[in-house]
Structure 1
Amino acid sequence: MTFAPKRPRKAAFVFILITIALDMLALGVMIPVLPMLIAEFEGGDLRAAAGATGVFGFAWALMQFLFQPVLGALSDRYGRRPVVLLSNLGLGLDYIFMALAPSLAFLFIGRLISGITAASLSTANAYVTDITPPEKRAGQFGLIGAAFGVGFILGPAIGGVLGEYGLRLPFWAAAALSLANALYGYFILPESLPPEKRTPTIRWRSANVLGSLDFLWRKRALALIAGAIFLSFLAHESLPALFVLYTQYRYHWDAATTGWALTIVGVSQTVVSGALVRPAVTRLGEKTTLAVALVCGAAGFAVYAFAPSGAIFMAAPPLIALWGMANPSFQGVATRFASASEQGRLQGALGSLRGVSGMIGPLFFTQILAGSIAVGFFPGAGYFVSALLLLAALVTAAAAMRRADRADSA
């Protein structure tokens, strides 16, 4: 059974939405300027800067992979509130550290720290699970996705404007956002996990990547759901890895066209997450919503792969946006397989899966594109692989549902 207050404070959920939006806003603010600052440290050598930027991205994903389970376990033991607030405080101080970084090495250390402190997303998801009845979780996770999208849409735009006045100014803005978030939460955010629902001790053998994967594997239905989630995560990595390079190569888009296209994609996904997930789950149920979302995503990736023109290519974002209903549904289903004292570990384990996909996905998909260009055949192969991954996720999720239904009826 999962703890849910009879009358959960609305301000608590609103704060979690604000936390995620501001976290993504702070991360997004740095997107336009971090590579430029790296290039500045590299003396203007763009080739060296490109290599260093790739290392920075891999290192950030690695920290997410390693520390999501740790923060999840800490939140199960000490509560969600201290983990969320300390993460916000840590992010704010780290952004100041990066703003003052005197060399590339210090900037890299700051990026590692931000990967650790930004791993609190799993704790925020566990918080939502604590205060929300199981049948309403998918809708709430949809709003979480909308907050994520809003922050990520606005962040790069704000960072680009501030970057015109100095490459370090966006870091100061990110620090202000995170510190303000921590201060606001200190006065507003109540604890969602009562002491009697917490784990008595931290099992450090399980509060790590291997332990979290073992936690997922213990229940076969949960393992199957986690596998489907990982396939969906991996498919998603093709979007940031391929979009710019693919559209430039195949449709000869310039930076402005690509920017507007990405804005359309982001807005579409935010609208779906904020406005469609809850009514879809209410009317169709989590299982059907999940199936529809994965089919739409696979169809969208197929359009990306085979579209002969940029205009037809842009018919896919609405389908990709509908795929955005999958993750809240996945989250809602997965939370049913864990007790109240295990929700942090569950979210940490799922966060680690996202970290794995973030490490291998960019290399995997860019190599597919490079190989396709080298042989001069089917440059959309990477997107086609993503479509196949989502169909595989659909089959895996269906197997998990069947197994869970048999267990419930036994």
Structure 2
Amino acid sequence: MLEPKIARRGLVLVFMILFLDVIGIAIIMPVLPAFLSELTGDSIADAAVDGGWLLLVYSAMQFLFAPLIGNLSDRFGRRPVLLASVFTFAVDNLICALAGSYWMLFVGRVLAGISGASFATASATIADASDDSNRAKNFGLIGIAFGTGFAIGPVIGGLLGEFGPRVPFYGAAALAFLNFAFAWFMLPETLLQENRRRFEWGRANPLGALKQMRNYPGIGWVGLVFFLYWLCHAVYPAVWPFVSADRYGWSEGQIGLSLGVFGVCGAIVMGVILPRVVPVLGEWRTALTGLVFTTLALFGYASAWQGWMVYAVILLTCLEGLADAPLRSIAAAKVPPSAQGELQGAMSSLSSITTILGPVIFTQIYSGFSGGNAPVAFTGAAYLAAAVFVGLGVLVFVAKVPAAPPPAAGDRGVVEN
């Protein structure tokens, strides 16, 4: 069993790695419309489609490499995989900052997708350092890292973007290099030698990893709910900056501020509300609550025809952040310690499929209902489509994922440990 001191240190360090990585991802979002328009000469609506293809390449690399990286981490440990990924991410951002053409961005996105596949290893690290009493709460660290990272990153990116659309990419590269140096000296190894297993190529590819998950009863339905949940969330990086610039006429700074508020609310939910809700409702009911609020949020963004309404939707539906951590915990509880990296790699492959499909689907929907040639002008159409996907996820979750009873009153304090 992992020593408590190492477990705590591993949780803190993997949180910091995720947090700084997310800032590096989010810092470039406010300038994407201007940066892509500068490189391609396209309008905002067409630049959204250009951005969708870049996201597709990024996600395709994650889909291909996440099982490989997850299986490598089950064999060699979490630390070397995480270090390699952070360094690769730094190189990616430097390439994008120096890009002289739209096609050079694809090189950077290939590297970013490979490095981003290590989110599976970060999740496996959290599983290594957790047990049944605190797994859901610890997986909440992922949401907190994403929430706070997306709160800070877009604001920084919006401010840096005022000096030029390339400046945030240089900032992201510098941040990633600092992240690598920090992790090199501080990150511990959390996978014990007795929990490591032989590397097998047959299990280190997307289809093999997904097929292997069939050996664990009930995890297929949880995977389908994750697929629909992540598919709907692909709408945010795909069209948020473009809808904001087109529908509300927001500047880079205003786009960054809106994403920052979104991230702050998500971080508060994950850091303050989630640890108090799970002991009362249990993981299943907490996940259902998050899924329902996700559906409501997407309907809200589709209907928000004025900018101030976006902030109202964020505040009223921020409980959507409750879904991810308990779903991860439900899945992690179904596999042994030696397969956590493989599980997280398979889940990352599912997530990558959604981020391959999502940007193409949602940017095409947005572009088709925007601009002068649109048969019906409705810039919120992509959000509406995403609401339908997560609504299906709610139905699958209720019908196919067994509901466990909420914790007994005497057990509720255990989750707080």
TM-score, with length taken from structure 2:
0.84
Spell out, residue by residue over 1:297-325, the C-alpha distance to the aligned partner (whole angstroms, 9 max, x if none).
22333334456766556432234321111
Q: CA RMSD in A?
A: 3.0
Q: What is aligned with 1:287?
A: 284
Aligned residues: 399
Q: What is aligned with 2:398?
A: 398
Q: What is aligned with 1:386?
A: 386
1-structure distance, mates of 2:54, 2:61: 11
Q: Which amino acid aligns with 2:17?
A: T
Q: Which amino acid aligns with 2:222?
A: I
1-structure distance, mates of 2:102, 2:363: 26
1-structure distance, mates of 2:141, 2:24: 19
Does the C-alpha gap of structure 1 residues 378 and 281 become closer, same or farther in structure 2, counting only changes over 3 Å? Answer: same
Spell out, residue by residue over 1:2-60, the C-alpha distance to the aligned partner (whole angstroms, 9 max, x if none).
x5434444332111111011111112223344565555544x45588665433222211
2-structure distance, mates of 1:40, 1:273: 37
- The CA deviation at 1:191 is 0.7
Does the C-alpha gap of structure 1 residues 372 and 57 become closer, same or farther in structure 2, counting only changes over 3 Å? Answer: closer
Q: What is aligned with 1:135?
A: 133
2-structure distance, mates of 1:228, 1:264: 27
Q: Which runs of 5+ in 2 are unaligned?
A: 406-417
* Greater Cα shift, 49-58 or 76-85: 49-58
Spell out, residue by residue over 1:311-366, the C-alpha distance to the aligned partner (whole angstroms, 9 max, x if none).
55643223432111100011011001111111111111111111111121133234
- The CA deviation at 1:218 is 3.2
Please tell me whether the aligned partners of residues 221 and 403 of structure 1 are also in contact (alpha carbons under 8 angstroms): no
- The CA deviation at 1:223 is 0.4
Q: Which amino acid aligns with 1:286?
A: E
- The CA deviation at 1:104 is 4.5
Q: What is aligned with 1:206?
A: 203
1:241-390 alignment runs, 5 A limit: 241-243=238-240, 252-256=247-251, 260-306=257-303, 314-369=311-366, 374-376=374-376, 382-390=382-390
Find 2:190's aligned residue among 185, 192, 217: 192
Does the C-alpha gap of structure 1 residues 288 and 77 become closer, same or farther in structure 2, counting only changes over 3 Å? Answer: same
2-structure distance, mates of 1:159, 1:312: 23
> Which SS does the other structure have where 2:10 is aligned?
helix
- The CA deviation at 1:220 is 4.3
Q: What is aligned with 1:175?
A: 173
Please tell me whether the aligned partners of residues 216 and 223 of structure 1 are also in contact (alpha carbons under 8 angstroms): yes
Please tell me whether the aligned partners of residues 68 and 349 of structure 1 are also in contact (alpha carbons under 8 angstroms): yes
2-structure distance, mates of 1:295, 1:316: 14
* Greater Cα shift, 351-360 or 175-184: 175-184
Does the C-alpha gap of structure 1 residues 145 and 195 become closer, same or farther in structure 2, counting only changes over 3 Å? Answer: same
2-structure distance, mates of 1:403, 1:50: 40
Q: Which amino acid aligns with 2:315?
A: P
TM-score, with length taken from structure 1:
0.86
* Greater Cα shift, 223-232 or 49-58: 49-58
2-structure distance, mates of 1:76, 1:28: 29
Spell out, residue by residue over 1:142-176, the C-alpha distance to the aligned partner (whole angstroms, 9 max, x if none).
22211112222222332333344455443333232
Q: Which amino acid aligns with 1:89?
A: F
Please tell me whether the aligned partners of residues 89 and 182 of structure 1 are also in contact (alpha carbons under 8 angstroms): yes
1:228-243 alignment runs, 5 A limit: 228-243=225-240
1-structure distance, mates of 2:136, 2:26: 25
Q: Which runs of 5+ in 1 are unaligned?
A: 406-410
> Which SS does the other structure have where 2:197 is aligned?
coil
Find 2:78's aligned residue among 77, 80, 100: 80
